[in-house]
Amino acid sequence: MKITWLGHSGFRIQTEGQVVLIDPWLTGNPMLPEDRHDEAVAEVTHILLTHAHFDHVADVVSLAKEKKVPVVGQYDVMAHWAEAEGIETIGFNKGGQVDLNGIKVDMVPASHSSTFATPDGPRAGGSEVGFVITADSHTVYVSGDTTIMADMDWIGDYYKPDVGILSAGGYFTMDMKAAAYAARRYFDFKTVIPCHYRTFPVLEQSASDLAEGLPGVNVIEPQILEEIEI
């Protein structure tokens, strides 16, 4: 399994012969050079979406149309896009599982918010979620944008993920110290990769507090478009 950071909360996961993009934000993403956008999305087979905020959905519909691939996510948003945009979607809900050609994806809760911007103000965009991805002998917990929540207790106990991709930039989500606390209390990760940080000055710029709070865990500060093989 190869995991590649696209900046902010965007990831590219190559496994089981598939290329899955998670929350791919290209347009306006200050972390991802424009001349590397094509590289970031090359050979994509599926797009996973955690929620509807602009820094997660800005390019999802256009990518789905251009690449002719399905968008996978919370049912309400997927049903809306299937009807309004004519794209292929796979909509399910918390507690459900889908199989993406050998990659099992379970939808789990997150605690955040989920809206689209419209001329008339924010419009509800389903609900925020996380994912548990099982493939290639690994179980990866993708927290999505979230704070610490009690649901992490059963997620860690039931799925027993060995890899955590955790929002940890603070201000909009849990910060590095909180992410370390959640990982220690609720999970037994072998590898942790932070995200939703470094993008803007208001967010945390280093994962040092996360690493210091998780002795014995391989905390990897991802670099843009550098593959992490696990």
- What pLDDT is recorded for position 203? 98
- Answer yes or no: are the C-beta atoms of 200 and 174 closer than 8 Å: no
**Residue 151 belongs to a domain:** yes
pLDDT digits (tens, 9 = 90+) for 32-83: 999 999 999 999 999 999 999 999 999 999 999 999 999 999 999 999 999 9
- Answer yes or no: are the C-beta atoms of 111 and 147 closer than 8 Å: yes
**Residue 229 belongs to a domain:** no
- What pLDDT is recorded for position 1? 98
Q: Say how many domains are in the chain.
A: 1
- What pLDDT is recorded for position 165? 98
pLDDT digits (tens, 9 = 90+) for 24-45: 999 999 999 999 999 999 999 9
Nearest to 191 by CA among 230, 160, 156: 230
pTM of the model: 0.97
Rounded Cα–Cα distance for residues 59 and 28 (Å) = 10
CATH of the domain at 26: 3.60.15.10
Rounded Cα–Cα distance for residues 179 and 170 (Å) = 9
**Residue 142 belongs to a domain:** yes
Residue range(s) defining the domain that contains residue 30? 2-224
Rounded Cα–Cα distance for residues 185 and 188 (Å) = 8
**Percent of the chain beyond pLDDT 90?**
95
**Residue 230 belongs to a domain:** no
**Residue 174 belongs to a domain:** yes
**Residue 108 belongs to a domain:** yes
Q: What is the mean pLDDT of each run of 10 residues along the chain (230 residues)?
A: 98 97 97 97 98 93 98 96 96 98 98 87 89 98 98 98 98 98 98 98 98 98 98
